[in-house]
Every structure is written in C-alpha cells, then in structure tokens.
Amino acid sequence: MGNPLFDQMLGRHAGSDAPFLHLPDGHVQSYGQFVDSTARYAHALMDAGLQPGDRVAIQVAKSPEALALIFACIRAGIIFLPLNTAYTADEIAYFVENSGARLLVCDPAREAALSPVAEACGTGLTTLGASGDGALAQVASVSPVDFPTQDCEGGSVAAFLYTSGTTGRSKGAMLSQDNLLSNALTLVDHWQFTNTDVLLHALPIFHTHGLFVATNVILAAGASMVFMPGLDTAELIRHMPRATALMGVPTFYTRLLDDPDFTQEVSANMRLFISGSAPLLADTHRQFKARTGHRILERYGMTETNMNTSNPYDGDRRAGTVGLPLPGVEVKVCDDTGTEIPRGEIGILEVRGPNVFQGYWQMPEKTAAELREDGFFITGDLATQGADGYVTIVGRGKDLIIAGGYNIYPKEIESLLDDQPGVLESAVIGVPHPDFGESPVAVLVPEKGVQPDLAVIEAAVSQSLARFKHPRRYIVLDALPRNTMGKVQKNALRDSYGDLFS
C-alpha cells in the first residue's frame, strides 16, 4: 500500500546528496540527511508511546528539527496539529482537548506554562527547541536512521489544521494525504517548479502557506529552499541573488519596497514572486512591477482546501483578482441556497476538488453546514467570476454590511479609499446603528508623513458611491490589526468601534 504523501515527497529522496535546506548559518542539509532525521523523530514518537492514528499537537519555533518532526508524523501515520507559536496556554488547552492529542510538543521555554495544560488534558508533554535542544530532540539524536514507514491510504487523515476562530471556537479541518499531495503536484506543474529552483522560505510552518504550499511544492519538485526563521527584509535581499522564487504575504512585498537596497539588480535571478493569505493592494502590484520588472502572482486558498485558484504563470496576472481555478478544481459563485448565479454577480464562492478537506473534527453539524453532499465546500467568501473565469474575492460573507436593507460590500468602498491621496490602505466595517441596523465605518492608515484630508476623501466618496454606501465615520490609525499571516482582523475593529452609534 505504501504511504503516498511521504513516499512521493521524501521517500524517493532517501540517500540523496541533493541540497534541501540552506540554513542561516551557512550549513546545507541534504535530502538524505533530512530523510534520516524524519526516521529519528519517528522513533522518538514511538518511544513516547504513540501509535498510528494518534494525534500530536506541535507548538514549536520554526527549525529544520520542527519540520522533520512534522514529516516524521506523516511517516509514522500520526496525525499532527501545527499550532501558532503565539497561542496562549488557554488557547493551547482547547486544541489539545478538542483533538484528543496524546502528546504536546512545545519549546523548552514554555514547558512550565504548558505542563498544567497537559496534566489537565491527560496528555504527554515533551520539548523541542529551535536549536535542536529539548527532550524529544535528545531521544531522536540517539535513534536509528531507518524506520519502517507506516502504510497509509490516500484518504487517511494526515493533519488537523485549526481555523482562526474569528467567529467562534476554532474548527479542526481534517486534511488527508490525497488532499495535500494532489495540491502540491498541481502547484508544481502550474507554477513550473523544477529541481533547480531555490525558494526563499520566510513563512511560518504552522500555517497552510508555509507548510503545505511552500514546503510541499519544494519537496514535490526536488528543489531546495533558503530556510529562514522569519521575515527579515535585509536577509531576503541578501539571499535573493541565489534564489529563484519567493512565496510571501503582502507584508513581505511592502517591506521590500520600503527598502532602498531592494533593486531590479537584486531580483535579476528571480523568476517568480507569489503572494497570498491576504489581498495585495493594486498599488503594491504597480510599485513592484515598476521597481523590479516582475509581476507578482496572486493565488487563493483556505485552511480547508489548500490552493483553489491562481493567476497564470504565463498569461495575464490581474491585480485585484486571484486568477483562474487550478486544474482539477471547480469553482462556482452561488446565492444563499447554493444555486449558481450569473457571471459577474456577487455571491458566495464554493469549491470542489481533490484538495477539499474531509470535514471538521468532531463537528458533524458544522461539516454538514459547510461541506455539501456533492463535495462543494462553501467558503464563506464573497466573490465574482468574470466571463473569462477570473475570480475576484470581494470579502468575507460575515463582513457584508446590511444598512437599511441595502447590501454594502466593503471591498467596493475600500478600493475607492485606497486610491485617495495620503491613504496607504483602508478597512471598512459594519457597526450597529439604531436607525439602519448597521452603518459603514472607514478605518484609514495614512502614508508615511502624510495626514489624509478627510474632507477631500468624503467628497470623492460622495461623487463615486451611492449615499447608503457612504461611511458614517472615518477613523485614522497608524496600522490595521492583522493576524500572523497578514489578514486584517476586522472582528477586532468591530470590537473596538462597535459602540460608535450607541
């Protein structure tokens, strides 16, 4: 039977001297060395009493060891839960308890804080540090470099990825081996990755983007990556001449543009810049093209589905859109009943394909509500699809504002505000209003050293938009609240300004 995900990603590289990880200290870890490391950590997990099908919660800093632990889980048939390193003990307690994890792996510095969590959940606790320290690393260091890879069916669950939980308790999306493998192989082909590519990897590995997109694509292509602890613009620039590709969130690209050392010459060897996890401003697209000659490629995915759409590698990369459905992925824009609506109209995006998850762990009602019997997943994203197939994300369904019975799509207002003099970016939220039910409020971030003229902005809005779409208030902030992957946290803004009209 084999283990499709491990066999095709890593097993085929056993004993290979080809470079896999270029590390900050100049050390290069080969594919063969990394495969050996996964065997050692698989033995360490077995020594901790785990069996195939058990769950392991992992909250550790990004490192080659952390990556090896994740692939050791795949190799051993153990389901892993990569957890945001910023989560508190209370948040971790929910994930461990909900998943039924038999083992929690944390940084040595967090052992004291998380010991009560493990004890309360009846879960084992061990440690792994970014420098290869910790109890689990010690066991792995003396373990054999051969391990009998566990047989797994393609439909078996490989990972739980918990959603961000902005509208309630986080849900554990169950992703199978086939979900992950099919998406990686599709992206390698669609983005034309080969074993000669070198990816700049500065993303976290507890998230779909850094783990299941960036890392899996490199493994599937047999390529290598500069494995950085996190975003450091100077380091990106330093390593860029040796690299061919970068996957990042919009912050990566705005930070690069803010650095005068980022030039066309620096990026001359690059063939592809990819952005995702949050919308990229059209102005950033324009500035980047003017500075480097490169067109950033935007794509669209979700925790539950990995990647669904992408602008083309060869062809029209349209700013403001997330491109076309990936091969094998179907998309449709529907009304609330699931009936497809005409092209160009705004509705709820639904997707179907081998990339779509298996359901939510221990939440059959949520699964039934969001995953249709015919396989289409209701994303909750408001979108349009043009006659030529290009998809544009308008916003989240929960961000829709209904004022006096009229639907207001924040993206329409934000696009206008972002184009105003002195405005770097904006976010429009719906705030409870005694007369209209809800009313739009605009939050503006000014460009450096500039104070936006609100009177001018209001005049532009009045000229371009119907009265019911006009923001009732304008608020200026130094920055918008964002999560780890750069998405604007509109729920935080609604919490902060929810009583403006009360």
Its domain, for residue 93, covers 4-16+26-152
Above 70 in pLDDT, residue 164? no
Residue 260 resides in a domain = no
Report the C-alpha gap between 477 and 489 in whole angstroms.
14
Query: Which CATH number does the domain housing residue 73 bear?
Result: 3.40.50.980
Bigger pLDDT: 77 vs 463: 77
- What is the side-by-side strand order in the sheet with 437-446? 423-433, 437-446, 473-476
Q: What is the mean pLDDT of residues 249-260?
A: 91
> Is 332 in contact with 353 (CB distance < 8 Å)?
no
Q: Is residue 256 part of a domain?
A: no
Q: Give a yes or no: residue 299 inside a domain.
A: no
Residue 406 has pLDDT above 80, yes or no: no
pLDDT tier at 161 (50, 70, 90 boundaries)? very high
Is there a domain that residue 223 lies in?
no
Sign of the CA dihedral running 125, 130, 135, 141: positive
Report the distance separating Cα 42 and Cα 57, nearest Å.
15
279 with 393: CB under 8 angstroms? Answer: yes
- Looking at 96, 128, 152, the residue that finishes a domain is 152
Q: Which of 152, 176, 211 is the C-terminal boundary of a domain?
A: 152
Residue with tokens 């066309």: 264
* Res. 323: pLDDT tops 70: yes
Could you give the CA distance from residue 162 to residue 457 in angstroms, rounded to a whole number? 40
pLDDT tens digits, 215-227? 999 999 999 999 9
- Domain final position from 100, 126, 152: 152
Q: Is residue 116 part of a domain?
A: yes
**Confidence (pLDDT) at 345:** 94
* Total domains, the chain: 2
Q: Whose structure tokens read 């669950």? A: 157
**Mean pLDDT throughout 398-407?**
77
CATH number at residue 439: 3.30.300.30
pLDDT digits (tens, 9 = 90+) for 78-118: 999 999 888 888 889 999 999 999 999 999 999 999 999 99
Res 188 pLDDT > 60? yes
- pLDDT average, residue stretch 379-408: 86
195 has pLDDT over 70: yes
Confidence at residue 436, expressed as pLDDT on a 0 to 100 scale: 74
The residues, ordered by sequence, that sit 6+ positions from 457 with a Cβ below 8 Å of its Cβ are: 417, 420, 423, 444, 474
Long-range Cβ pairs for the range 486-493 (8 Å, 24+): 486/249, 486/250, 486/251, 486/277, 486/278, 487/277, 487/278, 488/278, 488/427, 489/166, 490/396, 490/399, 490/427, 490/429, 491/166, 491/167, 493/427, 493/429, 493/443
pLDDT tens-digit series, residues 53-70: 999 999 999 999 999 999
Is residue 334 included in any domain, yes or no? Answer: no
Higher pLDDT among residues 166 and 157, named by residue: 157
What band does 405 get if pLDDT is binned at 50, 70 and 90?
low
Is 191 within 8 Å of 212 (Cβ atoms)? no
Given pLDDT bands bounded at 50, 70 and 90, which one contains residue 179?
very high
Instruction: Report yes or no: 439 and 403 within 8 Å, Cβ to Cβ.
Output: yes
pLDDT band at 146 (very low <50, low <70, confident <90, very high): very high
Identity of the residue numbered 498 = G
Please check the confidence at residue 353 and state whether its pLDDT lies above 90. Answer: yes
pLDDT (0 to 100) of residue 457: 95
Among the ranges given (29-33, 161-165, 229-233), the one the predictor scored with the smallest mean pLDDT: 161-165
Asked whether the predicted pLDDT for residue 404 surpasses 90, the reply is no
In the predicted model, what is the mean pLDDT of residues 411-417? Answer: 89
Q: How far apart are the first and last CA of the chain?
A: 63
Q: Give me the pLDDT at residue 491, please.
A: 86
87: exposed, middle or buried (C-beta count within 10 Å: 0-12, 13-18, 19+)?
middle
Give the Cα separation of 429 and 417 in Å (integer).
13
Query: Bridge-partner residues for 302, per DSSP?
Result: 306
% the chain with pLDDT above 70:
99
Within a domain: 446: yes
> Strand runs (DSSP E) across 118-210, as ranges?
124-127, 157-162, 172-176, 198-201
Residue 166 clears pLDDT 80, i.e. is over it? no
Band (397; pLDDT cuts 50, 70, 90): confident
* C-beta separation of 67 from 38 below 8 A: no
Q: Could you tell me where the beta strands, DSSP code E, fall in 41-112?
A: 55-59, 79-82, 103-106
Mean pLDDT of the chain: 93
- Distance from C-alpha of 321 to C-alpha of 300, rounded to nearest angstrom: 9
pLDDT at 167: 44
Q: Residue 115: inside a domain, yes or no?
A: yes
